[in-house]
């Protein structure tokens, strides 16, 4: 298939591009700036309708990852997050509809959503049956985009799958997560001596789970193969293994052989545990995580950080 990947130069987008190319697809990337990308790259803004239409032309499918993703920043710029995450998706849906009418083909869409759409439900692990209740503008903007996709797919001209990923981490081919507001990149920066200390709210017992970017990329490939029927399906993508903040710190110290200075602050108002049930994608699409053990995630991210410093 000829596949357009929006956000192709981002952390997860890069992994998706590489995975799809490895599987023999013809991949075209779309991003705002001309950065390193292992495929043909078209530059443009997801809010530029004409640019999006040009990028979609000739595509059989789209993996839509272009988005704003930082939870904390979304509280400071909620309108901007909705403009990009919802508005950009609407632009893409319009472009895909036009391409389907022009070519006579039904296009496939794989949408990058997030576990943040669920908020902090009491019942764990979180299944797709859990009613979404996002607690931040980022999650709300992604849920709004999901809703638009669902209505468009119901018209019959589009087959769509939404992947709700949880805490994507690690690195693929030396391309790690540049967002140091997330715990694993920040902890590695402290270990590398590039940050003074890691600030932790509470005693470090909060449980989260992390999924390797390479495993998430394989979920996109599996979803593309499965997105051949009319409608919109939703799948959680997670490792199934919960780990504490303390375990992250201890694993970083063990992998890097360096101490991590920690500033232990007061507890914050946040869920003690967030884990995901990804049994649906495993049973229906045959996806299984193979690189999402914490040690592998940390080791790959550490190697990427060291390579970027050379």
Give residue 309's pLDDT: 67
Out of 27-36, 141-150, 190-199, 201-210, least confident range:
27-36
Classify residue 98 as exposed, middle or buried by CB count within 10 Å of its CB (0-12, 13-18, 19+). Answer: middle
The answer to whether 212 touches 278, Cβ cutoff 8 Å, is no
Is position 138 annotated as part of the catalytic site? Answer: yes
Cα gap 127→118, rounded to integer Å:
9
Percentage, residues of the chain above pLDDT 70:
99
Residue 254: count other Cβ atoms within 10 Å of its Cβ: 12
Cα 22 to Cα 16: distance, rounded to the nearest angstrom: 10
Other CB atoms within a 10 A radius of the CB of residue 133 amount to: 13
> CB neighbours of 179 closer than 8 A, spacing ≥ 6?
11, 69, 70, 185
Q: Does 3 have pLDDT greater than 90?
A: yes
Residues 127, 118: contact at Cβ < 8 Å? no
Q: Name the active-site residue from 118, 138, 220, 235.
A: 138
Annotate 11-49 with b (16+ C-beta within 10 A) or e (fewer): bbbbbbbbbbeeeebebbbbbeeeeebbbebbebbbeeb
Asked if 116 and 67 touch (Cβ cutoff 8 Å), the reply is: no
Domain count, the chain: 1
Using CA atoms, how far residue 128 sits from 118, 132, 229, 233, 247, in Å, is 9, 9, 19, 10, 27
Task: Choose between 103 and 229: higher pLDDT.
Answer: 103
Nearest-10 crossing angle of helices 88-103, 49-56:
40
Q: Are 54 and 44 in contact (CB under 8 A)?
A: yes
Q: State the CB neighbour count (10 A cutoff) for residue 184.
A: 23
Residue 242's CATH number:
3.40.50.720
Which of 44-48, 111-115, 200-204, 256-260 is the least confident region?
A: 200-204
What is the residue range of 180's domain? 2-308
- pLDDT score, position 299: 98
Residue 154 in tokens: 């119901």
Tally of CA atoms within 13 A in the half-sphere of 225 that contains its CB = 14
Taking the CA atoms of the chain, what radius of gyration do you get in angstroms?
19
Q: At what angle do helices 245-256 and 183-191 cross, to 10 degrees?
A: 40
Handedness of CA 289, 273, 198, 249 (dihedral sign): negative
| Reported confidence tier of residue 229, pLDDT bands at 50, 70, 90 | confident
Coil, helix or strand at residue 20: helix
| Measured distance CA(245)–CA(202) in Å, rounded | 10
Please indicate whether residue 228 or residue 216 has the higher confidence score (pLDDT). 216
pLDDT digits (tens, 9 = 90+) for 259-309: 999 999 988 778 899 999 999 999 999 999 999 999 999 999 999 999 886
Q: What is the pLDDT of residues 111-136, one digit of tens each?
A: 999 999 999 999 999 999 999 999 99
Assess contact for 110 and 227: CB atoms under 8 A. Answer: yes
Residue 268: predicted pLDDT: 79
pLDDT recorded at residue 310: 64
What's the chain's average pLDDT?
95
- For residue 63, the cross-strand partners are 5, 110
Beta strands in 196-290 (DSSP E): 198-201, 207-209, 211-212, 231-237, 242-244, 262-265
- pLDDT for the residue numbered 39: 81
Per-residue confidence (pLDDT) for residue 248, from 0 to 100 = 98
């Amino acid at each position: 298939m000829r596949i357009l990947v929006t956000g192709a130069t981002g952390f997860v987008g890069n992994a998706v591009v590489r995975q799809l190319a490895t599987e023999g697809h013809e991949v075209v990337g779309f991003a705002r700036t001309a950065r390193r990308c292992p495929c043909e790259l078209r530059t443009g803004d997801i809010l530029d309708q004409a640019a999006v239409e040009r990028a979609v032309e000739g595509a059989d499918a789209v993996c839509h990852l272009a988005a704003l993703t930082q939870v904390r920043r979304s509280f400071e710029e909620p309108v901007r997050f909705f403009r990009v995450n919802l508005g950009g998706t609407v632009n893409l849906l319009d472009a895909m509809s036009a391409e389907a009418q022009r070519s006579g083909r039904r296009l496939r869409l794989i949408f990058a959503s997030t576990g943040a759409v669920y908020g902090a439900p009491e019942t764990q692990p979180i299944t797709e049956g859990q009613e979404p209740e996002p607690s931040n503008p980022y999650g709300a903007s992604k849920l709004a985009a999901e809703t638009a996709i669902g209505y468009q797919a119901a018209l019959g001209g589009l087959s769509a799958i939404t992947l709700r990923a949880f805490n994507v981490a690690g690195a693929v081919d030396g391309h790690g997560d540049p967002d140091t507001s997330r715990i694993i990149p920040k902890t590695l920066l402290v270990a590398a001596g590039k940050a003074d200390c890691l600030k932790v709210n509470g005693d470090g017992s909060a449980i989260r789970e992390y999924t390797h970017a390479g495993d998430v990329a394989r979920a996109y490939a599996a979803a593309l193969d499965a997105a051949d029927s009319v409608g919109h399906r939703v799948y959680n993508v997670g490792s199934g293994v919960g780990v504490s903040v303390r375990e992250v710190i201890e694993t970083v110290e063990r992998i890097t052989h360096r101490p991590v200075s920690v500033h232990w602050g007061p507890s914050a108002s946040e869920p003690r545990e967030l884990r995901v049930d990804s049994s649906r994608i495993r049973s229906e699409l045959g996806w299984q995580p193979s690189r999402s053990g914490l040690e592998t995630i940390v080791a790959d991210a550490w190697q990427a950080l060291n390579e970027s410093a050379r």
